[in-house]
């Protein structure tokens, strides 16, 4: 009976933690597409979703077996194994957020570079390609790969599509689409438009930076509140006489109840402290 209760509790905790880590918008997006978008936003466009799934499953199996062997309680192994399985996803989301913030600081300089190149008389493809050598350091790699794509295919649109996928950035989408329109229909005011876009991006970056600085304490408090009970539980697993209490049905219910409280509190704090996120409407 205790084993069955532990399995049910582990499954419930897995669903709850997945709900806690799932993004607030676009919850109905197919799973594979969501994973692909997450990998792109994290700068890992060459990694397949199946590889991430294998890593999560491997983390669950290894952590679950280790914690079950250490504690001697199946439900503890299932709970901590589930948290370990979701750790790669949480790490990717953190990497994607950091990458988005870094790109937000770099895009104004990149757009200024494009505007200067166009004003100097370079063709549009040449102006984009030169960002792979003279653009901001954090954006050089995707633009260098754009240059290789353009040289190998000779097709500007195809190279732009691949660039958008590698950037996985709403601001990058706007810039790429502006370049595409200028290439297709001509744009005598392209330089002026790029300079105006650069000024707008700088102002937006300053405003958002101030808001994120004020929001950070709420997010950090939510993460600390969620992580602390499970760190304590992992430490308690070294004391068999203590964790043996969780081998019963009542102990499993205590773990599930604690997971519910953590998830609800985490989601509530994130909802209260959330900032509007720009979506990739041109992807």
pLDDT single digits (tens) 253-272: 887 777 778 778 777 877 77
Average confidence (pLDDT) over 222-246: 77
C-alpha separations of 222 from 178, 208, 215, 247, 260 in Å: 39, 20, 11, 29, 14
* Lowest-pLDDT range of 13-17, 173-177, 262-266: 13-17
Q: Residue 26: what pLDDT?
A: 44
Q: What is the pLDDT of residues 181-233, one digit of tens each?
A: 777 766 566 777 778 878 888 888 788 777 777 777 777 777 787 888 888 87
Residue 4 has pLDDT above 50, yes or no: no
Q: How confident is the model at residue 27 (pLDDT cuts 50, 70, 90)?
A: very low
Q: How far apart are the first and last CA of the chain?
A: 50
C-alpha separations of 118 from 123, 162, 178 in Å: 7, 22, 13
Residue 52 has pLDDT above 60, yes or no: yes
């Amino acid at each position: 009976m205790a084993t069955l209760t532990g399995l049910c509790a582990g499954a419930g905790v897995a669903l709850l933690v997945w709900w806690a880590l799932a993004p607030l918008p676009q919850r109905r997006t197919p799973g594979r597409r969501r994973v692909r978008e997450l990998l792109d936003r994290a700068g890992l466009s060459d990694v397949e979703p199946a590889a991430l799934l294998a890593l999560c499953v491997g983390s669950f199996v290894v952590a679950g077996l280790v914690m079950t062997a250490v504690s001697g309680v199946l439900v503890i192994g299932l709970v901590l194994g589930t948290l370990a399985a979701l750790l790669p996803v949480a790490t990717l989301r953190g990497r994607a957020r950091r990458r988005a913030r870094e790109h937000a600081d770099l895009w104004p300089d990149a757009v200024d570079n494009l505007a200067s190149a166009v004003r100097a008389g370079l063709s549009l493809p040449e102006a984009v390609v030169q960002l792979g050598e003279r653009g901001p350091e954090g954006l050089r790699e995707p633009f260098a790969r754009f240059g290789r794509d353009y040289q190998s295919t000779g097709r500007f649109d195809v190279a732009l599509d691949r660039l958008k996928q590698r950037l996985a950035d709403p601001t990058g989408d706007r810039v790429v689409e502006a370049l595409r329109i200028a290439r297709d229909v001509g744009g005598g005011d392209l330089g002026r438009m790029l300079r105006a876009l650069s000024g707008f991006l700088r102002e937006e970056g300053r405003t958002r930076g101030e808001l994120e600085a004020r929001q950070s304490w709420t997010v950090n408090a939510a993460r600390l509140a969620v992580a602390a009970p499970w760190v304590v539980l992992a430490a308690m697993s070294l004391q068999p006489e203590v964790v043996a209490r969780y081998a019963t049905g009542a102990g499993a219910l205590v773990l599930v109840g604690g997971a519910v409280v953590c998830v609800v509190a985490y989601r509530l704090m994130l909802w209260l402290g959330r900032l509007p996120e720009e979506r990739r409407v041109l992807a």
